[in-house]
């Protein structure tokens, strides 16, 4: 009887671990170039599905530091859909960028835009 109980507990534990490890796994990230806050550039949608790139993007967003509330009129280059949230992204050739949640676009967060991050989102420096 003890062996059955121990075996049952081991199986239940393994099942719980397997269920928890699949939580909030991002399968794809959508990135769209923008014309203005409401209008997207046609034919610029990217679907990022590479696990390494997704991890880099998620890590960058998780490390974002609150900058504060700003009345901003500058159009972001991108809109990024990450899980159930959408963000605006302002980025250039420096190592800092800015993100804001689409639902509260005046609250800014600074991010560190490494070369690895720029490569993950296929960033191309804009020619002036």
Identify the band that residue 98 occupies on the pLDDT scale cut at 50, 70 and 90: very high
Identify the band that residue 24 occupies on the pLDDT scale cut at 50, 70 and 90: low
- C-alpha angle 10-13-15 in degrees, rounded to nearest 5: 110
pLDDT tens-place string over residues 34-86 = 999 989 999 999 999 999 999 999 999 999 999 888 888 899 999 999 989 99
Identify the band that residue 126 occupies on the pLDDT scale cut at 50, 70 and 90: low
Choose between 71 and 11: higher pLDDT: 71
Distance CA 94, CA 35 (A): 22
Please report whether residue 36 resides in a domain. Answer: yes
Please check whether residue 110 is in contact with residue 67, taking contact to mean a CB–CB distance below 8 angstroms: yes
Q: Specify the number of domains making up the chain.
A: 1
Please report whether residue 92 resides in a domain. Answer: yes
pLDDT of residue 2: 63
Please check whether residue 125 is in contact with residue 93, taking contact to mean a CB–CB distance below 8 angstroms: yes
Spatial neighbors of 124 by CB under 8 A, at least 6 apart, are none
Please report whether residue 101 resides in a domain. Answer: yes
Percent of the chain with pLDDT over 70: 78
Please report whether residue 87 resides in a domain. Answer: yes
Task: Please list the residues that pair with 96 across neighbouring strands.
Answer: 112
Full domain range(s) for residue 41: 28-120
């Amino acid at each position: 009887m003890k062996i059955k109980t121990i075996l049952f507990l081991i199986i239940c534990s393994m099942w719980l671990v397997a269920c928890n490890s699949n939580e909030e796994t991002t399968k794809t990230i959508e990135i769209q170039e923008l014309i203005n806050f409401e209008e997207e550039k046609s034919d610029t949608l990217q679907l990022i599905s590479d696990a390494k790139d997704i991890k880099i993007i998620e890590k960058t967003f998780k490390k974002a530091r609150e900058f504060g509330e700003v009345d901003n009129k500058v159009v972001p280059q991108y809109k990024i859909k990450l899980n159930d949230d959408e963000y605006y992204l302002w980025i250039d050739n420096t190592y800092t960028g800015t993100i804001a949640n689409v639902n509260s676009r005046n609250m800014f967060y600074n991010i560190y835009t490494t070369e690895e991050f720029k490569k993950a989102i296929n960033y191309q420096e804009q020619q002036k």
